[in-house]
Amino acid sequence: MARLNFLWAIIGTNRTGKTTEALKLAKAWKKDRPYGKVIVFDPQYKFRQAKVADYYITGEEDDWAKILIQEKGKDKNGKPLFKFQNSLLILDDYKAILDSNTLPKSFLKLLGLRMEISMDIIYITWNPRLILERLSYFTNHFSIFYTESDSSDFSDKVANYTLCQRAANVINKYVFAFGRGRYKDDKGNVVAEFPHAYVQTENNEVELLNVDPNKWALLEANGMDEVKTKLEFRQRLPEEYTKAFPSEAPQVIKIAKPLSSVTTTNATKK
């Protein structure tokens, strides 16, 4: 049976753990599929530094999506074989690579072909209202970190918005009280503990990750909905719960090929 491909949105404001989460997903994906290719738009150089990427998109290619749907021949049944068969595409801050609020035709074609190519896609954005509508129809997984958004931002953009909206409300309350999380512990060990919710819209599932159940119970017991400021809320908490974690960026090293290095001689003909 063919594997179902995912289209995964990671949503959250700056320094909440979005890229760290995408790195984790990419490493797990590569471990399961060592033969697969990881292609990234990587303006922060995090994926190349972590040696996860096989190819990177610079944003200066004539048509990066068209390169990704190039054919390399046919199988014995005449079915197209693609250069980037079995791949993971990661678009970090995906709106930065688009020239307008309309998805390019080649990107729409890529979305339509992704099952045939067997391409998984992760895109990262800081607010749900930045998700383009045609893209939201295909999205079936969400990782929701702290967002500076309201309910209308989700309802206007996400198909099963109530699930994502509830998850965002929980995470926003938790982060409001306890901080955005931490990349390293007090001894300098990498822990990457950033509170977020995982939402799978196909199964109506929500899972809270890096959320301490004792802190969450304390949060509900102390009337989070009644307070107006973080200071006012924290004054109600025991001292051991009032320290916000620092959110640090990973420091690592580089290597990957530019996507433009892929020859376009066998490009798919219209």
Q: How far is CA 158 from CA 11, 131, 162, 264, in A?
A: 12, 8, 9, 35
Give dist(CA 153, CA 84) in Å, integer: 34
Average pLDDT over residues 119-127: 92
pLDDT at position 1 is: 34
Model confidence, pTM: 0.80
The tens digit of pLDDT for each residue in 188-247 reads 777 788 999 998 877 788 888 888 887 777 776 665 554 444 455 555 555 544 444 333
Domain ranges of the chain: 7-261
Tokens of 177: 């009280």
Give dist(CA 105, CA 24) in Å, integer: 30
**Secondary structure percentages of the chain, helix, strand, coil, to 5:** 35, 20, 45
pLDDT at position 211 is: 86
Average pLDDT over residues 16-30: 92
**Which CATH architecture describes the domain 7-261?**
3-Layer(aba) Sandwich (3.40)
Tokens of 7: 């289209």
| Region of poorest pLDDT, from 61-65, 143-147, 210-214, 241-245 | 241-245
